[in-house]
Chains A and B, each alone.
Chain A
Amino acid sequence: MVRPSGGSARVFELPADVPASSVEIRRRTGFVSEDKDLIDYMTVAEIVRFTSAFYPRWRRDLEQTYLRRFELPPDRKVKLLSRGTRTKLALLLALCRGAELLVLDEPTSGLDPAMIEGVLQALVAHAAGEGTTVFFSSHQIAEVDQIADRVAIIERGRTLVAGALDDLRERYRRVQLVFDGAAPAAPFRAPGVVRVRRQGRVLTVLSSDGAERVLDEARALAPVATDVAPMSLKDIFLETVAAEE
């Protein structure tokens, strides 16, 4: 849909910016846009029939399953669907293609909590059952934390953090050092230090490589107390973006 301004990408070992391979990539990929672009003048049944014609591996069984589970009215025009129902229809059209890769742009935006849960459950079940790779973007950290295996945090076109979510949770640590007097303005040379923050008597060190080496370096500063805490994905996001700025 857009041409790259730089860099390169390959999907299914095919260059993503070559028109000929782009068609093959799209044949094996399902995409849901942020605005849930669909063909408004068609009914639910018509758009399902229209879309299925382009995918030889269209899954009729999944189509029936999701029509029932998402309670999609077959004879209703797409333009008359509510936002939540429209999202579910867009997901159905992506999930039933027999795609090896799903690319979802803010799949739960505008949905109420119950619908969000339903959509996330459907995605997890589909990925697990069909072996599909799901690539989704979201500003809802809690959702990403809930279902993602691997994450990347992108700020202004640059990847700040990338890796398996469990690995990130293991490696990122917040180390708080409390001092008698004002916290010293000490630079930390330990590898993996992302950010150091001084607030009065407290020195907080964010590390992406565990706490051991930070603690080793901190002993020389003689803090009266230390605390090492794990970080949630939200914390990692906020701290790395703040450090970037």
Chain B
Amino acid sequence: MLWRKAWVETRWRALIGLGILLCAAGAMVLVYPQVMRLVPSVPPDDGSTITRQIREAAALMRDYRGYVFAQWFRQSLPQLWTIMAALLGSGGLLTQGTALFTLSLPVSREQLSRVRAIVGLGELLALAIVPTLLVPLLSPAVGESYPLGDALLHALCVFVAGTVFFSVAFLLSTAFADVWRPLLLTLAVAVALVSVEQLLRTRAVHGIFGVMSGDSYFRTGRLPWLGLSASALVSLVLLWIGTVSIARRDF
């Protein structure tokens, strides 16, 4: 019953997020022909940063696999999924007017936290995989194909690395009695990390968004095991701290 309760309390956020991601994935595939028509009109290299970035992106999209990587796994999916991770990590006991009722039930606070975390992570896994599966399914519609295995591996990179953002929101939700502050603070953390990565130009190798996109897998065929392990470890630690925080709190 706790599992069902956790699902009911988050299902609309998850389902709406799924709808948005499915639309984004479908649109990304279906506009491919139009985008390819624009690639030849990339401006010549004039030494400016913006032109260089445009040319790099265009070079990346020289084939369909590169296009999917650039548009979906490096851009749309991590961005939208991170917002959903922050949204699904927010909430919890403090935001519910039902805290005393729930706490009066014969379940430990650790169990309540565990159920909430697992349900949230399960929803995020679905949000990473299901829209991504649309890519190989829909690709024939534009005369292309995309390997199912690649799609799944990239989706798993998004999920494993991105759980950090869910865990940040989860931890913050044990400190704030509203949904908005954990959500906005988590997004602020994400924006800060992106900014740092861009400043240091570490995105492709070490940055969390580089790991989420599976950049190294795209370029070399090797999964970013170190980044994935580090992200998973950080997530577990944050979830554990959040669980302990709830266990020690007075209501």
For this complex, into which size category does the number of interface residues on chain B fall?
Answer: 20 to 34
Q: Scan A31-59; emit 1 where CB is below 8 A from any B CB, else 0.
A: 10101011111000000001101110000
Chain B residues within an 8 Å CB radius of A22: 108
Q: How close is A109's CB to chain B, nearest CB, in angstroms? A: 15
Chain A residues within an 8 Å CB radius of B103: 1
A212 at the interface (CB under 8 A from B): no
B106 at the interface (CB under 8 A from A): yes
Interface centre among A1, A2, A27, A55 (most CB of B within 10 A): A1
Per the bound structure, the CA–CA distance linking A54 and B2 in Å amounts to 9
Chain B residues within an 8 Å CB radius of A31: 100, 104
Interface centre among B105, B107, B251 (most CB of A within 10 A): B105
Which of A3, A37, A55 makes the CB contact (< 8 A) with B101?
Answer: A37
Q: Scan A1-37; emit 1 where CB is below 8 A from any B CB, else 0.
A: 1110000000000000001001110110101010101
Contact assessment for A37 and B100 in the assembled complex, using a CB-CB cutoff below 8 Å: yes
Interface centre among B104, B107, B108, B250 (most CB of A within 10 A): B104
B97 at the interface (CB under 8 A from A): yes
Which of B1, B8, B102 makes the CB contact (< 8 A) with A41?
Answer: B8
Q: How close is A29's CB to chain B, nearest CB, in angstroms? A: 8
Contact assessment for A38 and B98 in the assembled complex, using a CB-CB cutoff below 8 Å: yes
Per the bound structure, the CA–CA distance linking A189 and B99 in Å amounts to 51
Chain A residues within an 8 Å CB radius of B102: 39
When C-beta atoms are compared, the residue in chain A nearest to B5 turns out to be: A50
Chain A residues within an 8 Å CB radius of B184: none
B247 at the interface (CB under 8 A from A): yes
Q: Scan B1-36; emit 1 where CB is below 8 A from any A CB, else 0.
A: 100010011000000000000000000000000000
Q: What secondary structure prevails in chain B residues at the interface with A?
A: helix
For this complex, into which size category does the number of interface residues on chain A fall?
Answer: 20 to 34
Chain A residues within an 8 Å CB radius of B251: 1-2
When C-beta atoms are compared, the residue in chain B nearest to A1 turns out to be: B251
Q: How close is A242's CB to chain B, nearest CB, in angstroms? A: 32
Chain B residues within an 8 Å CB radius of A51: 105
Known A-B contacts A23-B108, A54-B106; A39 and B100 likewise in contact (beta carbons under 8 Å): no
Per the bound structure, the CA–CA distance linking A33 and B105 in Å amounts to 12
Known A-B contacts A3-B250, A53-B1; A26 and B101 likewise in contact (beta carbons under 8 Å): no
Chain A residues within an 8 Å CB radius of B101: 33, 37-39
Q: How close is B14's CB to chain A, nearest CB, in angstroms? A: 16
Chain B residues within an 8 Å CB radius of A3: 248, 250
Chain A residues within an 8 Å CB radius of B108: 19, 22-23
Which of A23, A24, A26, A54 makes the CB contact (< 8 A) with B1?
Answer: A54
Which of A35, A38, A40, A54 makes the CB contact (< 8 A) with B107?
Answer: A54
Contact assessment for B1 and A50 in the assembled complex, using a CB-CB cutoff below 8 Å: yes
Known A-B contacts A2-B250, A2-B251, A41-B8; A33 and B100 likewise in contact (beta carbons under 8 Å): yes
Q: How close is B11's CB to chain A, nearest CB, in angstroms? A: 11
Q: How close is A166's CB to chain B, nearest CB, in angstroms? A: 32
Question: What are the 8 closest A-B residue pairs judged by CB atoms, nearest first?
Answer: A27-B106, A31-B104, A37-B100, A53-B1, A37-B101, A2-B250, A26-B106, A33-B100
18 contacts between A and B (CB under 8 A): A1-B100, A1-B250, A19-B247, A23-B107, A27-B106, A29-B104, A31-B100, A31-B104, A33-B100, A37-B101, A40-B98, A41-B8, A41-B9, A50-B1, A51-B105, A54-B105, A54-B107, A55-B106
Add 10 more A-B contacts to A1-B103, A1-B250, A23-B106 (CB < 8 A).
A19-B109, A24-B106, A26-B104, A27-B106, A37-B98, A37-B99, A39-B98, A41-B9, A50-B1, A54-B106
